[in-house]
Amino acid sequence: MLDSGPTVEIHPIRDIRTRDDHGQPIPVSVNHFPHRQCNYACKFCFHTALSSNKLKLEKAQGGLRLLKAAGMQRLNISGGEPFLHPEFLGKLFRYAKVELDVDTGVICNGSKVTDQWLDTYGQYPNWMGVSCDSFNEDTNELIGRRDGSKRHGEHWRRVQRIAEYCHARTPPLKFKMNTVVNRYNVEEDMNSALEVLKPQRWKVFQVLLLEGENTGPGALRNADDLVISNEEFQGFLKRHKAHNPVAEDNDAMENSYLLLDEEMRFLNCQGGKKIPGRSIFEVGVHAVLAGAGWEPETFEDRGGIYDFGGQEPPRSLPEALVF
């Protein structure tokens, strides 16, 4: 087993590289799933509750130290629903920001974000992201994006509340929205809602099938009927072009994300599956990167490196890195 890492040196963002001098990949941006649990049941989910495992906070922090020492500069947390473990999430953000000087963000469904969490930990993320696939409650019902609440417009109110909080902070907390375009929402017009929410970054994904997660034997979800054509996806993008969607079709998503699971294992998504490698605690970050199926050039081509202008919490470390 490896030690959780030495003291980390801070590297300025202007020197960001996705490969080192020997051509080996550098994990500049890591998407971490601390656990697989969720209170929603979205039919297209590609990271389902196949286990209930979650590392203890101290070990998770040790994993972040290893990743930082290997070159990580941005940590994106999603799930499962990250806010099912709010204190764990908040302390992980605080550690990543204050101790490691890593830019951080979260993607959640909005249902478990509380004022208390925002007051305690809202200073640490650079951005707050919410998954929102529809502003029509019937469509959300079909997708599975609800937690049993029967209140009309509940998801819309949750998303709007988080957006308002982000915009009202001084300095503002960047607000991001993720949308998965699928059979149920491909014809929806979201322009009016987007005018109200004003996301600084709107990621729009074409629904993606991954064997063992949302299609095939043993999968907990079945998204086969939600698949859309490339032409339909382009039609959705054209309808919303005024809001500058950051579009990712199936080709753009494949091999362009570094996905890290609840055991700190990179997930290889080549061939339409998610195959975990060995844990970074066992053999180190660079050793497992070789089998992660991540292509830095594809990551760059999809716009993975961008200037996000993160906020600055109080800290004793040098000025924050800016994406």
- Residues annotated as catalytic are 38, 42, 45
Query: Could you give the C-alpha distances from 108 to 27, 85, 127, in angstroms and in order?
Result: 23, 12, 11
Query: Would you give the distance in Å from CA 49 to the centre of its chain?
Result: 17
C-alpha dihedral over 237, 241, 246, 251, to 10 degrees?
A: 30
DSSP string, 170-229: SSPPEEEEEEEE-TTTTT---HHHHHHH--SEEEEEE----BTTTBSTT-S---GGG---
Cβ atoms 216, 202 nearer than 8 A: no
**CA dist., res. 45 & res. 200, Å (int):** 24
Cis-peptide into 80, omega within 30 deg: yes
278 three-class SS = strand
Please work out, in degrees rounded to the nearest 5, the angle formed at the alpha carbon of residue 176 by the alpha carbons of 175 and 182: 150
Neighbours of 165 (CB within 10 A): 17
For tokens 């999430």, name the residue. Answer: 89
Helical (H) or strand (E) element with 166: helix 154-168
58 three-class SS = helix
